[in-house]
Structures are given as structure tokens and as C-alpha cells.
Structure 1
Amino acid sequence: MIVDDSFFSRTLIAETLRLGGCEVVGEAESFDTLLETYDNCQPDIVTMDIVMPGADGFECSRALLLNDPSAKIILVSSMKDEETEAEAKRIGIAGYIQKPVDGELLINIIKNILSPDSLYEQLIELGLETFNEALSQNITRMSKTPVSFVPMNTFETQYVSQGITTVIGIIGRHSGSMIMDLSVETADKMVEALLRRPSKSREEVLAMVAELSNIVAGIACSILNKKDKAYSLRVSPPSVFYSTETEITSPNLKINASYAQTTFGPIFLGIGFKKGATSWI
């Protein structure tokens, strides 16, 4: 169901929804016909403009949620700022997209509101494979040799580091972490391949590992974002731990992991995500 006082906007949104495989079952141009139209057509999703004569989109949304607390509303408006987003969250609106409407993004938001676990499950399915691909690209550039991966079916409760561990936080619709671990010897060989000389200090080696991890995570997140804009993934700065006694644990995330077999030595790579909020604002 589309709620918008502009006939042209309703037509444009309706065509966008139809092209995305949705059925438009009702339209309303103001509060006057909102509740009656909603009760008659019983839509799965309501798109709601903010600026309308009489009662605005926020007032209409409050009334609609009072009428049906399970109503799923997506604000579709040219207005979008911190204040309107905060108000939408307070009311209980499910999603928010700015005009002009990105059709693909709108359809993805609708799908994920109606099937809240599907995006997470897709991310779990694609995550490790995508991060392996990103690591492989970078190692192959350095060594001009292919990289093979040995999967670890599950990440155990703890893992003892080979010597250098990098942890990168992943921020997005579903947050997570990437763990990369390798020996000092492997890292030394990689530095020598990149700089065409032996490393001069341990700091130089640790800096290389941090940068490699950052690049791998960034490339992987970019690949995933291209597959689905709704992921909205980005990376946080890496944290590097240098000790052969380091134990890696992951109490809050299920980590999918693999070993990369490279000419420099084995590299452990683990990736995990947790379910995010259900609100698409």
C-alpha cells in the first residue's frame, strides 16, 4: 500500500514496486482514507510519505500502528536527517528510504523486513568464501602463485596463535569480525616479497600484517556490498597481537574458518557475523 499526497509519486513508487515483483493493493493520499484503505486491503508493507497536508507521515504512522501494531511501515520521503530518523525509530517504523527512490534498495528493504533472517543467512553462506577470495587475490599478486584453502568446519572454542594475530571489526546491518593469523616466519617472507628486501624491524612486519588484513577485509566487504547494498558493510581499524602464546576465542560469534596454503606459509582466516537489529532505518 502506498500513502503519498502526490499522484505522480504514487505512480512512480507503484511502478518501482511492480518491477520489483510486488503487488500494489491500495493507495491513500491523506489521513482521511488511510485506515479504511488499510483495513480493506490488508497490505504486507506500507510506504509512507512524510510531508502531506493535514496529518503528516509520522502522525499517520502512529495512527496506523495504533490500529494495527503489526503494521510494517517504510518511510519514503525526500526528507531524511538525524531528527526524522530518530522520530521514526521512536514510533516503531520498520524502514526509511529517501527520494528519489533507489528501486533495488527499496525492494531489498521490503524483502528483509518480511524475511528478517534471510540477509543474515545469505551473509553467513557467502562470508568465508568472499574473504578467502580477497585474501587469495592479494597473496597471488605478491607470489604469482595460486592459493589453496583447507576449510575448518567449525571454529573451536579457542585457537592458539601461530605468532601474529589481527582482528578487524566489521560494521554494518550485521556486524562481525575477521581474524587473520600467521607465523612470524610467514610474515617475514611476505615483507621481503613486497619490499624486495628483508624486514628491518618487527614493527615493519606487524605493520605489513595490519595493512594486509585491512585490505583483505575492505575488499571482501566491497564485494559483499556489491552483491547486496543492504549489507552496508565497512571495516574498523585492525588490532594486532604479537605472541606465540595468544589464544583466540570467540564467545559471541560463530566463526567460519579456513587455512590458506601459500608459498609463504599457512595463514588462518576466520570470519563471523551476528544478527543485527530488525529496523531498517
Structure 2
Amino acid sequence: MVVDDSPFSRTLLADSLQQEGCEVVGEADSIECLIETYRQCKPDIVTMDIAMPGADGFECSRALLAHDPKAKIILVSSMKDEETEAEARRCGVVGYLQKPVEGEVLKKVIEGVMSPDVLYNNLQSWSIDIFKEALGQSITRMTKTTATFVEAECSEKNISQGITVVIGIIGHYPGSMILDISKESAEKMAEVILRRPAKGQDEVVAMGAEFANVVGGIACSMLNKKDKAFSLRVSPPSVFYGAQTEIASPGIRLHCLYADSDFGRIYLGVGFKKGSVLWM
């Protein structure tokens, strides 16, 4: 079901959905006809514009969810910023896309909403191999050496080798990547990459942060190519070093491995947290 006050927008969305094999069973242009149309056509998904006269998309969403708490609403609007995203989450919608929307992308989000476990399970099953490949590529490209990989058992807490970099992953499913390396290994890597000895600890730590950032960025790009619906990107790295550090990731089950390189052992852990909202 398509809800939008613009006849052209409704036609554009309906045509895109039909081209992707979806059936459009109803349309509404205001809150006045929303509930009755929904009751009659019983849609699996409702796409909802935000900017509409009378009652906006947030008010319409709240009214529809009050009528049917199981309604699955995807906001499709030209408006998208921190304030509208926060309001969308408070309303309880399951997806939010910004116009103009490609039919293929909208279909992926609908499929994710209808079968969220499939998208999440794909991410879980692909992620460790993709991050492993990204780590291997990064070592080769930046140091002109290769590494071998060893599967590692992830415990609730591991002791850092010296420098731990945490990369937050933003997307439909939030995640974390943790890269850990000894200070000695980091110094050797920095010397090879810089083609000179590092000037001090700050430069070594900065190398570790940038190396982890590269690994995370490459891996997220590769995963997005496999499925655009992931919409993954990395946040700035956080680095911990000096005092003895425990590596832990509360709330996220990590998949772990070690890369044995010419510089020493590099620990990599990655995991994602299941959610129910798809944002694009």
C-alpha cells in the first residue's frame, strides 16, 4: 500500500514496485482514508511519505500502528536528517528511505522487513570471510607482504597484545570490528609502510588506527557490493594502548581469527547486532 499526497509520487512508487514483482493493493493520500484503505486491502507493507497536509507521515504512522500494532511501515520521503530519523524510530516504523528511491533498493528493504532473519543471517555468514579477505588485501597492499590465517576461538575477554583499535560499523545492523596488534609488530609495520622508522609512539598508534580503518572500509564496501541493503560504513577508530587492556564486545558475538604476518600476529574480531529497522 502506498501513502503519499502526491499522485505523481504514488504512481512512480507503484510502477517501481510492480516492476520489481510487488503487488500494489491500495493507495491513500491522507489520514482520512488511511485506516479504511488499510482495512480493506490488508497490505504486507505500507510505504509512507512524511510531508503531507493535515497529518504528516509520523502522525499517520502512529494512527496506523494504533489500529494495527503489527503494521509494517517504511517511510519514503525526500526529508531525512537526524531529527526525522529520531522521530521515525519513536513512531515504530520498520524502514526509512530517502527519495528518489530505486525500485531494486526498495525491494531489498521490503524483503529485509518481511524476512529480517535472511538478511541478518547472510551478513553473519559472509562477514568473517569478507573481513579476512580485507585484512589480507590490506597487509599485501600496504606492506607488500602476505599473511596466513588461523581461526581463533572468541572468549568473552581477551588480553590485548599492546594496541587495540575498535571500529564501529554503522548500517542496517550495527557492528564492531576489533583489531589488536603488539607494539613491536606495529612498529615494524609502520617502518615498512613509512619506509623509515616511526618518529615515536604517536605515529605507531596512528598507523594502527589507519590500518584498521582501511581494513574495515574495504570489508564494508565488499559486503555492500554483495547486498546493497546492508548499507554499511565505518565510524572513526578508537585506540586503546599502554595499560593492560581486555578485549570485549558486550552485546555482540564476535567471529575471530589471527593473521600471522612478517611483523607478528594480528588479531581480528568482527560481529553484528541484530536489529529490526532498515534505514537507507
TM-score range, shorter chain: 0.7 to 0.9
Equivalence for 1:28 = 28
Equivalence for 1:94 = 94
Instruction: Within 5 Å, give how 1:64-83 maps onto structure 2.
Output: 64-83=64-83
- Deviations for 1:123-173, whole angstroms, at most 9, x for unmatched residues? 222222222222211211244333221112x30123233333222233333
Aligned: 1:190 with 2:199 = no
Deviation of 1:68 after TM superposition, in Å, equals 1.8
Q: Distance in 2 between matches of 1:12 and 1:160?
A: 55
Aligned residues of 2:96 and 2:278 also touching (Cα < 8 A): no
Q: Could you state the TM-score of these two structures normalised by the residue count of structure 1?
A: 0.84
- Deviations for 1:74-116, whole angstroms, at most 9, x for unmatched residues? 2223344455444444433332323222323322322222223
Equivalence for 2:236 = 236
Distance 1:249 1:59, change over 3 A: closer
SS at match of 2:111: helix
Unpaired stretches in structure 2, ≥5 consecutive residues: none
Equivalence for 2:113 = 113
Equivalence for 2:150 = 150
Equivalence for 1:176 = 175
Aligned residues of 2:221 and 2:232 also touching (Cα < 8 A): no
Question: What number of residue pairs does the alignment pair up?
Answer: 279
Equivalence for 1:122 = 122
Stretch moving more, 224-233 or 68-77: 224-233
Equivalence for 1:164 = 163
Equivalence for 2:257 = 258
Equivalence for 2:46 = 46
SS at match of 1:169: strand
Equivalence for 1:133 = 133
Aligned residues of 1:108 and 1:230 also touching (Cα < 8 A): no
Deviation of 1:55 after TM superposition, in Å, equals 4.8
Distance 1:174 1:31, change over 3 A: closer
Distance 1:206 1:6, change over 3 A: closer
Greater C-alpha Rg: 1
Q: Distance in 1 between matches of 2:58 and 2:142?
A: 55
Deviation of 1:197 after TM superposition, in Å, equals 2.9
Q: Distance in 2 between matches of 1:176 and 1:38?
A: 36
Distance 1:37 1:181, change over 3 A: same
Distance 1:257 1:83, change over 3 A: closer
Equivalence for 2:203 = 204
Deviation of 1:24 after TM superposition, in Å, equals 1.5
Stretch moving more, 173-182 or 224-233: 224-233
Unpaired stretches in structure 1, ≥5 consecutive residues: none
Distance 1:261 1:10, change over 3 A: same
Q: Distance in 1 between matches of 2:198 and 2:82?
A: 48
Distance 1:186 1:72, change over 3 A: same
- CA-based RMSD of the aligned residues comes to 2.7
Q: Distance in 1 between matches of 2:66 and 2:38?
A: 12
Deviation of 1:181 after TM superposition, in Å, equals 1.9
Q: Distance in 2 between matches of 1:3 and 1:149?
A: 51
